[in-house]
């Protein structure tokens, strides 16, 4: 088994691994092989012989008294050796010393060699999988792109991303999307699991609010460099989304920078999301004002925040003119649903008799009967 360390750098380079981790994997492979071909009850240790560039196997065994029948019992005897037997290896050994007895896998011929080969393959492969798992675990919530290699009968889309395959389930696709083999698509990493039978399983998503945020960072330099922060986001995939933005620079308009000149930036993101409409809102920590902005395009008269027993915002009571209610709710309730998702509060609408001047956006109080008649005839 000499000069086996010469292959460490080659394996590390080929698999993209750290040489130190490859060395540890080889030592583990040697120990497991020794247990397999010598005795599985023995306590083995693998040591590095830098001069020979080899890995040596030693059995660690504790020296006990000759009459210690309990420890020298047949069931646990491989871990212990009598003082008399130990002094056949080292005449200076004393009680409770740790005696190390060398073993050579070469003595086990083809059986030892083939077992070692299998163990090395197994442990290197496991090391590769662990590295990939940790790599993609750290990428959860980040944008990746790849080529479609298969679409199965359940419409799950399998995508090749660098050195690994990921799956985009049908539930994580935007409504109306269809992919063909060879298509290049973007998505965010939603979940990464390690399965003993199937190895690493990576699940992607195009419906997550994080996907919208990552696309915005790709299109808007101010978001990418931190001048604008996406504080919160909410989506109903393929239909509409709302994002709350905040500027960290006094000379940067968060909403204007995100929308871009003539909407070029936000439109590019919307196109990737199959025409999803995106409302950009300036974030504020004042909950009443934030709810008022989030309810756009409806014009709000008043917002009251109701707190729960823990002092947390639980519900927003929104008072608005009757002619603004349909805008506040939105088509199929989409506007109020997104507003609730973005604020994290239940939203209750209360109508008033007020009306809104569409030209100015100002709310006007309703006139009583006499004033109304005078206005009609004057």
Q: pTM of the prediction?
A: 0.76
Res. 367 pLDDT band, cuts 50 70 90: very low
Distance (Å, whole) CA 311 – CA 51: 69
Q: Supply the pLDDT for residue 373.
A: 30
Q: What is the mean pLDDT of residues 211-223?
A: 96
Helix residue ranges per DSSP H, the chain: 6-15, 19-37, 83-86, 109-137, 209-219, 221-224, 254-259, 264-272, 287-294, 325-329, 334-343, 369-377
Q: Which CATH architecture best describes the domain 145-205?
A: Beta Barrel (2.40)
Tell me: the pLDDT tens digits for 67-83? 776 666 655 556 777 77
Instruction: Tell me the HSE value of 44 on the side-chain side, using a 13 A CA sphere.
Output: 24
Residue 170 has pLDDT above 90, yes or no: yes
Residue 318 has pLDDT above 90, yes or no: yes
pLDDT at site 71? 64
The reply to whether CATH 3.30.1480.10 applies to domain 6-136 is yes
> Which SS3 state, helix, strand or coil, does residue 161 take?
strand
Intrachain domains 208-283 and 286-378 with the same fold: yes
Give 349's strand partners.
318
* Fold that domain 208-283 belongs to in CATH: GMP Synthetase; Chain A, domain 3 (3.30.300)
Joined together, the tokens standing for residue 5 give 């360390």
Contact 114, 106 (CB under 8 A): no
Contact 34, 115 (CB under 8 A): no
Residue 14, SS3 per DSSP: helix
Say if residues 182 and 147 touch (Cβ distance below 8 Å).
yes
DSSP states of 303-339 as a string?
Answer: EEEEE-TTS-EEEEEEEEEGGGHHHHH-GGGHHHHHH
| Strand 302-307 versus strand 184-195 pairing type | unpaired
Q: How many CB atoms lie within 10 A of CB 70?
A: 9
Could you tell me the two tokens for 175? 């409504």
CB 87 within 8 A of CB 95: no
Which string of b and e fits 264-292 if b means at least 16 CB within 10 Å? ebbeebbebbeebebbbbbbeeebeebbb
Q: What is the pLDDT of residue 78?
A: 61
- Domain residue extents for the chain: 6-136, 145-205, 208-283, 286-378
What is the assigned CATH class of domain 286-378?
alpha beta
pLDDT at 375: 44
**Per-residue pLDDT at 3:** 67
Q: By C-alpha distance, which of 291, 359, 296, 371 is closest to 327?
A: 296
What is the rounded distance in angstroms from the CA atom of residue 131 to the CA atom of residue 16?
A: 9
The pLDDT, as a whole number, for residue 364 is 57
Give per-residue pLDDT as tens, 3-43: 677 788 888 888 888 888 998 999 999 999 988 888 777 78
**Percentage of residues in the chain having pLDDT higher than 90:** 54
Q: What is the DSSP string of 15-71?
A: HT--HHHHHHHHHHHHHHHHHHHT-TTS-EEEEEETTTTEEEEEEEEEEE-TT-TTT
Using the predicted structure, report yes or no on whether residue 199 has a pLDDT greater than 90.
Answer: no
């Amino acid at each position: 088994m000499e000069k086996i360390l010469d292959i460490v750098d080659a394996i590390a380079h080929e698999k993209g691994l750290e040489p130190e981790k490859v060395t540890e994997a080889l030592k583990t492979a040697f120990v497991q092989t020794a247990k397999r071909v010598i005795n599985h009850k023995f306590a083995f240790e693998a040591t590095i012989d830098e001069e020979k560039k080899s890995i040596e196997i030693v059995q660690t065994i504790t020296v006990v008294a000759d009459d210690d029948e309990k420890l020298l019992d047949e069931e646990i005897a491989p871990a212990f050796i009598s003082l008399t037997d130990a002094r056949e290896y080292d005449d200076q050994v004393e009680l409770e010393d740790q005696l190390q007895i060398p073993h050579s896998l070469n003595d086990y011929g083809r059986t030892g060699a083939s077992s070692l080969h299998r163990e090395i393959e197994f442990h290197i492969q496991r090391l590769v999988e662990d590295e990939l798992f940790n790599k993609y675990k750290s990428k959860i919530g980040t944008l990746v792109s790849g080529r479609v290699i298969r679409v199965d009968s359940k419409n799950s889309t399998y995508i090749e991303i660098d050195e690994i395959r990921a799956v985009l389930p049908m539930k994580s696709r935007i409504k109306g999307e269809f992919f063909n083999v060879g298509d290049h698509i973007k998505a965010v990493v939603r979940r990464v699991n390690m399965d003993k039978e199937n190895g690493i399983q990576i699940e992607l998503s195009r419906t997550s609010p994080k996907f919208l945020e990552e696309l915005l960072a790709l299109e808007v330099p101010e978001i990418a460099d931190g001048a604008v922060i996406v504080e919160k986001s909410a989506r109903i995939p393929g239909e509409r989304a709302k994002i709350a933005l905040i500027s960290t620079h006094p000379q940067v308009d968060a909403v204007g920078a995100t929308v871009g000149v003539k909407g070029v930036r936000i439109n590019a993101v919307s196109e990737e999301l199959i025409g999803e409409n995106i409302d950009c809102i300036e974030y504020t920590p004042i909950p009443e004002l934030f709810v008022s902005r989030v309810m756009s395009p409806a014009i709000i008269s008043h917002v009251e925040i109701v707190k729960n027993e823990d002092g947390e915002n639980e519900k927003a009571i929104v008072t608005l003119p009757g002619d603004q209610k349909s805008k506040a709710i939105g088509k199929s309730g989409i506007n109020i649903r997104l507003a609730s998702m973005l604020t994290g509060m239940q939203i209750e609408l209360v109508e008033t008799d007020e009306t809104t001047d569409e030209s100015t956006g100002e709310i006007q109080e309703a006139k009583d009967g006499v004033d109304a008649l005078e206005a009609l005839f004057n």
